Structure 1
Amino acid sequence: MTQLAPTKHPFIADGEATAILPTGGKQKPITVIGTEAIRETFDDFCVQQAINSRLAPGVTDLVLNPDAHCGYGAPVGCVMVSPTHVYPGPVGVDIKCSMSLLQTSLPADAVVDKQTRRALIDAICERTPTGAGRGQRNAAKSRPVDEALGQRVLVEGASKGVCEALGIPPEWATRCEDSAHVGHDDSTAALALRLERLLPHAHRFADKMSQLGSYGGGNHFGECEVVEVGDDPRSQSVAETFGLVDGGVAFLSHCGSRGIGHQLATGQFKALQAKFEQWNIPLPGQDRELVYAPLGTAEADAYLDDMALGANFATVNHLLINALVLEAFQQVIPGATGQLVYFISHNIARKEIVDNRPAWVHRKGATRAYPGGHHALAGTPFAQTGHPILLPGNPQAGSAVMVADPGAVLSRYSVNHGAGRQLGRKAAKRALNQAQVDQSFNEADILSNCRHYPIDEAPAAYKDFDEVLRSVKSAGLASEVARLKARFVIKDGDKADD
């Protein structure tokens, strides 16, 4: 791809935590969210990807969030808007990678004892396998999913029938950003037809369905948290609406569509890249990962259908993980109950109203952020407050639950999806010391299922979470409702899915 000459300060600041990035053309500049310290974490490659994405056909808006770093075609941590085209790159290969939060009825004291926490880790790992290639056969107490049920999951998403078949409380679907996705024509029938065409060519379909209710590798995780709600009246009121309990035990999860999402996404990249070569179409920035399809074409329809199939799997995967985690808590601490707080994606394209017309909002490592009063929240439990925003930081700095403010219109109602990497995986392995990483977790009294905490996932591999949050708050996008403090972490050392 075309490289940008090294530039120390390519941004034009227009606020404490906002700036613009000109593209060199007449197009609307890129909106940048981040303090000066955060903007200095954006390297030339990330900046060039942002410019390539902004100049791509049909793109009307590009937002760079404070967690931004180089990604697949478009930067991880960006928002890309187009009313006329769909792009696989700004969704990526882990379709609908997401966050979910389960609030339990347990007080913080229930997870003070290390023996209890170790028992909880073991009980969860018996039900929810971790690792890039692992599924139900790797967890003795997981839920069996045959091919027929797997097909229903892909087509229906978190329907009442699918939830009941998997032992998921059906009411949890009301706590999802999107509980089910439909095909390009807004029908479930389109997904059923698309799946029928794909199945004869699907590689190891049964194995991929067996991954339902599992974490992937790399940056995917499950984390036992203690909730600390802010002292201000607004935080306490919003937390009550969200169902957060100050001083209570919660469980935060990060994962996506696993092997089936990867297969669907890579198939789409290959198909569209072949079309570009066949038709001799120039690639944006000469980047093969920025292929696209104009809306209304057969290619766009196929992509939207495949994205919806993968997204439905990711949704049910999260809900099943939460059901299994709650079951594990109940095994170790009888009488525990739990309620899903929210499930929200950060790798998805959604059809939304932008500047009074429909457009596809691609969020790559970016999270939707609708404030109270937004028309899309009418009829939901969050119509007055805005919906929960789940932002993972790192186990030692904590994670955050936020709520959008009206200023989020600046970022097309989006915020960052977490802290964002400041060291690549290879760089982290070179720069960090395993013994020191493990010792830091011991000193923080945070347990893990790993013998050695994955060094490329160590807190130092990520940006300063407090500075990232300061960027979001100072830009007027969202306010912090609660901080989540980790008590133990479920991880895997394999390569990240997304």
Structure 2
Amino acid sequence: MTTETKRFTYTGPAMVSTGEATAILPTETTPPIRIFGTESIRETFDVLCMQQAINSRTAPGVTDLVLNPDAHCGYGAPVGCVMVSPTHIYPGPVGVDIKCSMSLLQLDLPAEAIEDRKTRRALISAICQRTPTGAGRGQRSVPQSRHVNRTLGQQLVVEGASRDVCKALGIPTDWAFRCEDSFHVGHDDSPKSLESRLDELLGRRDMTNFSEKMQQLGSYGGGNHFGECEVVAVGQSDRARDTAKAFGLIDGNVAFLSHCGSRGFGHNLATGQFNSLQTKFVRWGIPLPAGDRQLVYAPLGTDEANDYLDDMALGANFATVNHLLINSLVLEAFREVIPGAQGNLVYFISHNIARKEIVDNRSAWVHRKGATRAMPAGHHSLAETPFAKTGHPILLPGNPRDGSAVMVADDGAAASCFSVNHGAGRVLGRRHAKRVLDQTTVDAELDAGDILSNCRKYPIDEAPAAYKDFNEVLRSVKTAGLASEVARLKARFVIKDASKADD
């Protein structure tokens, strides 16, 4: 969510540089906000982003706040921030698209297999027949989707990517081991509270469309969500090659990158929580942090916090299965066009979630809003996973023109609460982009790169120029010692929605 910023004048303290790609932002009452980004990147931080960062850092119970290079104004808290609290839960730093995430599917096809434009057009058609785009579209709008009835919908939002759910949807069950979190539990660390909470929600007026929202499983939605066919270019260093092998990346082969979240179901849950908490703040006369209604919160252990944690988990489970199903459908589409094609999930990772982690030797909720987990090799949370010895894959979307990246965390990521940016980050609001960018130029850039799209005209508010310089964003991450590049992903075609945004 992006807000126009010209109405706001920032009058707070200035950033203080502490290195080539690091800085701090002081506040009057707390330790400073840590900032990661080169000087040119820090200049992209708009005035509302800065004020939101200070508002979030000084909010009740918050013990740490980090701004990543992609930071820009968001919903209460900036997009591109990490916010830590051992005592409170905040819906704003998760946002309205609960567990918006990235996933990457590696195929066994060489780049030459999709060089022909007719082949790529056939793949676009086959994928779009299975995975709809658009804010309101679901399975019924495409002929080869997976049908999800109400019973299966209730099961998957409680269980996430369980073995039974994966089998019911035709998802390879071993893909669950390639997820940051393949399932989420309720506030009491069990699925029982999710069952009870879902029963309660299904009796409410604002959830009478539950069955309809389950029909959106296996769809991208709109806005900045996309599916993108890539060619993998592994870095030349020994570490990059060894890490790519451990990740399952194949140099010179085709891959498919997806970006989406919890769709209408997650939006219903999030807006319901915002409305409920905002009403209670008014009723009880609780002062809002910096007077911002989007920074409502609930102290841990209260009924309000428990309800939010349960709702967030239900939405996150939907998002997880949504991604895995999309990847299964994409692989099915490739096999239709190129018989015998094989593929495996590289990783699935979120950038809109609150997770319970150990911070400074105590349990805390780490809210990542447009921020990605970045645990290096040997981190305790990766024990008994395929990535214990390397660190897990970090999937960073850039733009079709400049490509995307797969990175791996370095030990320096401890300084950023084991987090990095979730992509390039917007530099132009959607309305601003539509006013100042030229459609002909945007489309010509893609044509020059021989990058196809399902859109007659590429969405101008999603043009590369609407986002920050991706190479400079990546340089910020590397220079700050947070993560190293493993591979670049070069776009060959893009699937997006050209209508109303839903991010």
User: Please, what TM-score do these two structures have when normalized by structure 2?
Assistant: 0.98
Q: Which moved more, 1:479-488 or 1:438-447?
A: 438-447
**Equivalent in 51, 56, 64 of residue 53 of structure 1:** 56
Within 2, Cα distance between the matches of 1:167 and 1:50?
43
Secondary structure of the corresponding residue to residue 251 of structure 1: strand
> What corresponds to 1:276 in structure 2?
281
Within 2, Cα distance between the matches of 1:38 and 1:79?
17
Amino acid at match of 1:125: C
Within 2, Cα distance between the matches of 1:134 and 1:220?
13
**Equivalent in 337, 358, 361 of residue 356 of structure 1:** 361
> What corresponds to 1:460 in structure 2?
465
8 Å contact kept, 2:12–2:51:
no
Deviation, structure 1 residue 156: 0.2
**Equivalent in 297, 311, 326 of residue 321 of structure 1:** 326
Within 2, Cα distance between the matches of 1:233 and 1:7?
48
Superimposed CA distance per residue, residues 113-164 of structure 1 (whole angstroms, 9 cap, x where no aligned partner): 0000000000000000001000001110000000000001100000000000
Within 1, Cα distance between the matches of 2:485 and 2:502?
28
1:75-474 equivalences in 2 (<5 Å): 75-201=78-204, 202-474=207-479
Deviation, structure 1 residue 214: 0.3
Secondary structure of the corresponding residue to residue 356 of structure 2: strand
Superimposed CA distance per residue, residues 354-389 of structure 1 (whole angstroms, 9 cap, x where no aligned partner): 000000000000000000000000000100100000
Deviation, structure 1 residue 301: 0.1
**Equivalent in 58, 67, 74 of residue 70 of structure 2:** 67
Deviation, structure 1 residue 204: 1.2
Superimposed CA distance per residue, residues 435-475 of structure 1 (whole angstroms, 9 cap, x where no aligned partner): 11111111110000000000000000000000000000000
Within 2, Cα distance between the matches of 1:177 and 1:425?
30
> What corresponds to 1:484 in structure 2?
489
Secondary structure of the corresponding residue to residue 362 of structure 1: strand
Within 2, Cα distance between the matches of 1:7 and 1:242?
46
Amino acid at match of 1:148: T
Deviation, structure 1 residue 9: 8.1
Superimposed CA distance per residue, residues 184-204 of structure 1 (whole angstroms, 9 cap, x where no aligned partner): 000000000000000022131
How many residues get paired? Answer: 497
Within 1, Cα distance between the matches of 2:141 and 2:13?
49
> What corresponds to 1:12 in structure 2?
16
Secondary structure of the corresponding residue to residue 14 of structure 1: strand
Amino acid at match of 1:246: D
8 Å contact kept, 2:33–2:66:
yes
8 Å contact kept, 1:4–1:48:
no
Moved over 2 A (4+): 1-9, 494-498
Amino acid at match of 1:90: P
- Flag the 1:229–1:7 CA change in 2: closer, same or farther, 3 A: farther
Within 2, Cα distance between the matches of 1:324 and 1:183?
29
> What corresponds to 2:45 in structure 1?
42
Deviation, structure 1 residue 4: 7.0
- Flag the 1:4–1:353 CA change in 2: closer, same or farther, 3 A: farther
Within 2, Cα distance between the matches of 1:303 and 1:425?
30
Within 2, Cα distance between the matches of 1:89 and 1:95?
10
Deviation, structure 1 residue 497: 2.4
Within 2, Cα distance between the matches of 1:130 and 1:282?
40
Within 1, Cα distance between the matches of 2:376 and 2:281?
40
Amino acid at match of 2:386: P
Within 2, Cα distance between the matches of 1:76 and 1:355?
24
Within 2, Cα distance between the matches of 1:188 and 1:277?
32
Within 2, Cα distance between the matches of 1:332 and 1:4?
52
Unaligned runs of 5+ in 2: none
Amino acid at match of 2:214: M
- Flag the 1:12–1:4 CA change in 2: closer, same or farther, 3 A: farther
State the percentage of identical aligned residues: 74
Within 2, Cα distance between the matches of 1:353 and 1:277?
33
CA RMSD of aligned residues (A): 1.3
Within 1, Cα distance between the matches of 2:159 and 2:258?
22
Within 2, Cα distance between the matches of 1:150 and 1:182?
16
